[in-house]
A and B are shown apart, each in its own frame.
Chain A
Amino acid sequence: MTQGQWIRRVVKPAAIVLSLVPAALLLRDTMSGNLGSNPIETLTHRTGLTAITLLVITLTVTPATRLLRLPALVQVRRVLGLLTFCYATLHFLIYLADQTVFAGQGLSLAAVGEDVAKRPYITVGFATFLLLVPLAVTSTKGWVKRLGGARWLRLHQLVYAAAAGAVFHFLWLVKADTRLPAVYGVLVVALLGYRLAVRRRGSRKRTPSAAAAEGSR
């Protein structure tokens, strides 16, 4: 098997299966009533945590292709990004249900709007989710063609803002124990810092446009 085949036939399916494990566990615990004393809270936390974890893993793919000299590894990036979006969507829908259906006041989207506008961690969380939508929509080969490689790359740099947003969303919602959000913060800073370093080094040697494309990957 060539490197590309190995990644396509083994690494990629494995990445998908592993990424679906949290969903399977969530489904199992929901069906068996093992979500603890506050099931909605548990569902919200677990989907959120899985989403930010997958986002960080997705951002690790590009540096890994360089560091491991495995360019074909880039093939797992899209599906990881899409799975990140799936968990983020679940996370958002559970929040939405909690604010409307389960709020005991019926569907009140106005109340949701107020919550989003009023509370910084919700505002940032919501904005982060919105940033992920165009990325998920334009993740297909067709959209890459339609937008053109350079423009598509520029659009997908939104993922950096989403990563920062996700970290702040997490950081601002905890009461006192900032350890876990801090870990994600450090990881995101490292992953974005790495890209910045690559871009700086590249811009000294290459043309600016090539460097931009390189750095954004």
Chain B
Amino acid sequence: MLIKRPDDIEASEITEERDYWDRRRFIGATAAAGVALAAAAVPSVLVACNRAASGSERRTSEDDELTPYDDVTSYNNFYEFGTGKDDPKKRAHMLRTRPWTVVVEGEVHRPGTFDIDELWSRFPPEERIYCLRCVEAWSMVIPWLGFPLKDLLGAVEPTSHAKFVEFTTLHDPEQMPGQRRDVLPWPYVEGLRLDEAMHPLTLMAVGLYGEELPNQNGAPIRLIVPWKYGFKSVKSIVRIRLTRTQPATTWNFVLPREYGFYANVNPEVDHPRWSQARERRIGHLFKRPTLPFNGYAEQVAGLYDGMDLGRYY
């Protein structure tokens, strides 16, 4: 089995937490679902999060232990199922994740419609342990299963006009009861610049903790951009469109002063209503400092060279 490890990140820096090794249990549980083969053969790329650059800020490995499965799957912002944190777990069973297709279109040479099972076999998922920093100043460490978005984009061959990528969540109030009220303009839309989308850290997640994504976590396929606030990581995606212009994204459209298009994790730029300097890791009582780009500055800061991050928040 090929174990890919980016050389700038050592797997030894990640705590092999009890819960993490417990993942075999979940793999076993998913066997019946027909994804066992894929899950069991997962190559593992361990990407530590919140690695501080300087020695003095360097954390011990316990700081990045995995957030327990129960918290990851019961404390969710997924307004399609309600605005309460516990609504998604209660109501996401209404979502049907098979059959499911993802349309990839727009500025591409080979547009296509991909069946979710086809994506599983064509882009075998690997494990990535990422930090998730919510704009609400809490965070988790989650072992995702997924494939780099750039692999999918490579398959559809973006044209030279493609500058942005727009992602759209399913819009079906029958399955997503939260959409029966206009809390947000539906469907939920998010977007990335093409170079952000092509970055090797940018993941299309199809699972977590070794099993298929639970519905409340954005099944059957979602985006994960670990250096941006969680709301950028759009869930239950049905369409990916490559565009020439910056797409109108949901939170930025609703409250532009509070939620920027870029939404890079930045302790220096506060949300107008609360500080972003610190975060509470779920399961921990004491807050910790938030790191620039959520700890991924070494890998992604170069994407924003020369940009005023206070202005393009």
Asked if B75 is an interface residue, CB under 8 A from chain A, the answer is: yes
Q: Is the CB of B183 closer than 8 A to any CB of chain A? A: yes
Bits for A16-38, please: 1 = Cβ < 8 Å to B, else 0: 00000000000000000000111
Q: Are B285 and A37 in contact (CB under 8 A)?
A: no
Other-chain contact of B71, A37, A121, A175 (Cβ < 8 Å): A37
Q: Are A104 and B288 in contact (CB under 8 A)?
A: yes
Interface of chain B: mostly helix, strand, loop or mixed: loop
Judge whether A38 and B280 touch: CB under 8 Å. yes
Q: Judging by beta carbons under 8 Å apart, are A104 and B287 in contact?
A: yes
Is there an interface contact between B83 and A102, defined as CB atoms closer than 8 Å? no
Say yes or no: is B257 at the interface (Cβ < 8 Å to chain A).
no
Interface residue tally of chain B, by bracket?
A: 20 to 34
| Cα(A126)–Cα(B312), bound, Å | 31
- Residues of B near A70 (CB, < 8 A) are none
Does A172 have its Cβ within 8 Å of any Cβ on chain B? yes
Q: How far is the CA of A121 from the CA of B288 in the complex (A)?
A: 23
Q: Knowing A172-B273, A176-B184 are in contact, say whether A103-B79 is a contact too (CB < 8 A).
A: no
* Partner pick for A119 among B183, B184, B273, B288, CB 8 A cutoff: B273
Which residues of A (60-112) have their CB < 8 Å from a CB of B?
102-104
Known: A103-B287, A119-B274. A37 touches B282 (CB 8 A): yes
Q: What residues of chain A have their CB less than 8 Å away from a CB belonging to chain B?
A: 36-41, 102-104, 115, 119-121, 172-173, 175-177
B interface, CB within 8 angstroms of A? 70-71, 74-75, 79, 83, 85-86, 136, 138, 183-184, 254-255, 272-275, 278, 280, 282-283, 285-289
A-B contact pairs, 29 of them (CB 8 A): A36-B75, A36-B85, A36-B86, A37-B70, A37-B71, A37-B74, A37-B75, A37-B283, A38-B85, A38-B280, A40-B280, A40-B285, A41-B138, A102-B280, A102-B285, A103-B278, A104-B286, A119-B272, A119-B273, A119-B274, A120-B273, A121-B273, A172-B273, A173-B273, A175-B136, A176-B79, A176-B83, A176-B183, A177-B183
